[in-house]
Structure formats: structure tokens, C-alpha cells
Amino acid sequence: MKLFLLYLFAALIAAANSLDCDCIADGKECPSKVCTVDDTGGSCISAAWNYTKNSKAIPVSFQGCESNKTSFDACKEGDLFFTAGKNFTWNSVCCNKTKCNSHLPEVNTNVTRKVCPTCFVFSSKPCHGDKTNCTGSQDYCLTISGTYQDSTVSSQDFYGQGCATQSAKILVKGTNVTFGEVKISIATSDIKKATDGASLVHGSIAFTVLLPYLLGLLLDKFLY
């Protein structure tokens, strides 16, 4: 009887310290529909990737559990957003309430003055994109390469540049990320603060305004 009560007490303690999360991989519910993680160091996560392959837009998603005891904890630095132009986005949010991950991440589309070069290709060769304004809290520029695969795409090299949140600093060289069918291996990664595009614009406007005046001074000096 004492042994039974001991097991029962242990089970109650474990249940009290656990967190239930919705479990959906690429639009399909897991067999149990729910996963459980230790809430003292785990979180529910909702992640979405959108990319273009052969001119076709492909959405991929994952909702499940994320533990801080794994080699890569996607929730360690908080919500992660990465936008490599129109051809690739990576958005993941974490929460710590029962089944709080029932919805896919909402993206803040408010345009800011921060700018980054943006491009994405399924290739080992670098791409070079024009500078684009960032949105929301994406005030860092991330350049990253590696391999990507999911249920519709076999493992392929990729290279991308774009706007990212500070939390993208966890995507360091050698990182292996697994979310259901999505598997990403990071080969190279470089992240730095985004520049203020407004200051660049103001500078170019000022130069344009002053240019005729400067040319006039030079002509006056050489002609008279």
C-alpha cells in the first residue's frame, strides 16, 4: 500500500510539472494529438516555413513540444522570425500554457526603417539580393547556408539572406534542427545589426540637393 501511494504521489508530481501541447506535423495530427513536456524547462512551439520551389509557394508547419534538454532548444532565445525576401520565411513562437500552440505564428507586417539584403536559393552558391525594409522586431541581418528537407523536398543545399530577430543568433554553424518532417542543418551563419535605411535615404537626398551647389563652386573657382 505504501509503495502504491509512493508511485501515485510521484505520478501526481510529474503531472503537476508537465505541459500538454498540441501536436500537429505538416498539417497532420500526431497519433496522440497531444505531446507532453516538462514545464520547468520545456515549452509548446508553433512553427511555419514558407518557401518557393520551381515557382510554386510551399507552406510547411509544425506544432508540438520543445524541451531545453535537447541539443537544440528553439525556444531558448524566444520567438524566432527570419524573412529572406518573398522566397523563404521561418517563423516560430513558443508559449508555456496548456495547448497554447493551437495556432500558427502571427507575423508583424509593420514595415520599419531597418534594411537588409534579401535573397534565397536552393543552391550551395551564394545569392545577392537588393536591400529590403524589415518588419516588426526583425532588426538583424542574417546570412545563412546549409541543407533543408521536409515531407515534400529531399535534402537540398540552400543559401539565404534577410531580416531576422535577435533570437536567430542561436542558428550557429553546426546546428541541426528537427521539427517533425522538417530537418535543417546549418553550415554557415552570420548575423549582425541591421542598418537604418532612413539614414541612408536622407544621406542620398542631402547629397543630391548639395551637388549642384558644389559643382557651382568648382566652376566658379576654375572659370574666374
User: What Cα–Cα distance (Å) separates residue 154 from each residue in 119, 123, 149, 158?
Assistant: 21, 13, 5, 12
What pLDDT is recorded for position 116?
98
Q: Which triple of cell numbers denotes residue 97? A: 500554457
pTM of structure: 0.79
What pLDDT is recorded for position 212?
53
What pLDDT is recorded for position 106?
93
Amino acid making up residue 52: T
What pLDDT is recorded for position 153?
87
Q: What is the pLDDT of residues 164-179, one digit of tens each?
A: 999 999 999 999 999 9
Averaged pLDDT, groups of 10, the chain, 224 residues long: 35 58 84 87 94 92 91 92 96 97 94 97 95 97 97 94 97 94 96 81 44 50 51
What pLDDT is recorded for position 14?
38
